[in-house]
Chain A
């Protein structure tokens, strides 16, 4: 699986980086989060799912293996 932080929704709560620091890096400037580009390494899926669930802004989306990494918005 892959994971992406929607920049327009992230407000820098930083909870994702506490739960999966291998996956989410925080901007030095404002603490907004960015996810690694490639596949989530095996064994980290559960923590990534926790991060997705814990995000107060619900800004993180998981991209399943069989879907292209499109920029389709979550809400219309």
Chain B
């Protein structure tokens, strides 16, 4: 019989997910953890379990009856710390990602008809137009920074449009969303970023009030008119949901796009193949990039009761890190896990998480990514990223992303208006055609 281990007698494994050392050695750390203890006890950040094996994460992550996402920011329940390890400095609860059912389910039921594949497909012309305008800003120069000039812009504008916020505000929300992802949680700079985020929270609070008084379509309207577990949610709770939508919608797709473009620049043969066989390869290639780069590296949980899973005994209150990024490199699930194979079969990846908290914006992410990559393949097919100028995040404990990715390409002609003019036009279209409404009425809440 397999030996049952618990936190007291597990051989502790020291690693610090937020350190630069982790970023530099992640492949070796992943291999060692998976070989020795796919469910390990780490002493870092007050002690927590780390699940790195693909099979183990599948067994544990879906056990929502014994796992809690709750972030009890105000100390009203059991004091659980939500999905960040270490706990988020900001005392705002991170929306329904830091809730358990039934509230979590009710919020998703409210937002699903804005984020389903059918809902997202309606936005293809919009995203194509934002992408076109962003590329037009650079196309004549032959130089672009794929992060600053494209991958930061498109997801941000798209997310604000779906929320019902002014498109021109994208940069105000983008800077802190981007910076908070790559700054070490215990760094002194974090306080400044948290300040910026607080300013944005005040901005969001004003939008909540405004939309409540003068309804306009979008996810904010859905939230201010929602009933959650029999009650109307308060502004603080809605602000947390909006922060979650921005945090989830902005930097993640940016990270995926930047890394994928960097890889395509370094693998010219594979890029030529993707351009030639785009119709049959792009869907699978997108899943493979999601697996390989796992923009959201993982998620924290708290055990809500004592339990035993796969020979490991967990106690109520113990923290757990589900490492999607490590599970996605498990050789037992993915042969040659550290290679990108654009036509890989059976990509059972956990890049969007597993279980009831599956990334609710997954369809947005895929669509925006495919539109950006397709437009680059059409208009800048010979792009060459500048290795010396590429800047990866110092720490990848939250998001595995890039700060800068400069590239050169053969210049081409502009085909339309610049970004600001395009955003003005698109804002008019959003307002007049009420684009940000739900795709369908949802089912009765249950």
Which residues of chain A have a CB within 8 Å of any CB of chain B?
Answer: 11-15, 17-18, 26-31, 50, 53-58
A27 to B442, CA, bound (A): 11
Binding site for A on B (CB under 8 A): 58, 62, 108-109, 112-113, 116-119, 283-284, 287, 345-350, 352, 354-356, 358, 362-363, 439-440, 442-443
Contacts of A30 in B (CB 8 A): 108-109, 112-113, 116, 442
Tell me the minimal C-beta distance from A57 to chain B in angstroms. Answer: 7
Across the interface, B287 reaches (CB within 8 A) one of A11, A15, A17, A57, namely: A15
A56 in contact with B348 given A14-B117, A30-B112 (CB within 8 Å): yes
Q: How far is the CA of A50 from the CA of B116 in the complex (A)?
A: 23
Contact B346 A28 (CB under 8 A): no
Flag if A57 contacts B354 (CB, 8 Å): yes
* Complex CA distance for A54 and B358, rounded to whole angstroms: 15
Which of A11, A12, A30, A57 is packed against the most chain B CB atoms within 10 Å? A30
How distant is the Cα of A12 from the Cα of B359 in the complex, in angstroms? 10
Using Cβ atoms and an 8 Å threshold, which residues of chain A touch B284? Answer: 18
Q: A28-B118, A56-B354, A58-B58 are in contact. List 15 more A-B contacts (CB 8 A).
A: A13-B352, A14-B362, A15-B287, A15-B347, A17-B117, A27-B116, A29-B113, A29-B443, A31-B116, A54-B347, A54-B348, A56-B348, A56-B349, A57-B354, A58-B348
How far does the alpha carbon of A12 sit from the alpha carbon of B113 in the complex, in Å? Answer: 13
What are 20 A-B interface contacts by the 8 Å CB criterion? A11-B355, A13-B358, A14-B362, A18-B283, A26-B116, A26-B118, A27-B116, A29-B440, A29-B442, A30-B113, A30-B116, A50-B346, A53-B345, A54-B346, A54-B348, A56-B349, A56-B352, A56-B354, A57-B354, A58-B58
Distance A19 CA – B355 CA, assembled complex (angstroms): 21
What are the residues of chain B within 8 A of A29 when measuring CB–CB?
112-113, 116, 118, 439-440, 442-443
Find chain B residues with CB under 8 A from A56 CB.
348-350, 352, 354
Contact B439 A28 (CB under 8 A): yes
Contact A55 B348 (CB under 8 A): yes
Chain B residues near A11: list those with CB within 8 A: 354-356, 358
Alpha-carbon gap, A15 to B109, bound state (A): 21
Q: What CA separation (Å) do A26 and B362 show in the bound complex?
A: 14
Q: Is the CB of A31 within 8 A of B117?
A: yes
Closest 4 CB pairs of A and B: A28-B118, A53-B346, A30-B112, A11-B358
Q: Known contacts A18-B283, A30-B116: does B362 contact A13 (CB below 8 Å)?
A: yes
Which among B109, B112, B350 has the greatest number of chain A C-beta atoms within 10 A?
B112
| Cα–Cα distance between A70 and B118 once the two chains are bound (Å) | 30
In the complex, which residue of chain B has the Cβ closest to the Cβ of A17? B117
Bound Cα distance from A14 to B283, whole angstroms: 11
Q: Given A29-B116, A29-B443, A31-B116, do A57 and B62 touch, yes or no (CB 8 Å)?
A: yes
Write out the residue numbers on chain B whose beta carbons fall within 8 Å of the beta carbon of A50. Answer: 345-346
Return chain A residues, CB-CB under 8 Å to B117.
14, 17, 26, 31
Residues of A within 8 A of B283 (CB): 18
Q: Which residue of A lies closest to B111 (CB)?
A: A30
What residue of chain B has the Cβ atom nearest to residue A18's Cβ?
Answer: B283
CA distance A13 to B287 in the complex (A): 11
Write out the residue numbers on chain B whose beta carbons fall within 8 Å of the beta carbon of A31.
Answer: 112, 116-118, 363
For the complex, what is the distance from the CA of A56 to the CA of B346, rounded to whole Å? 10
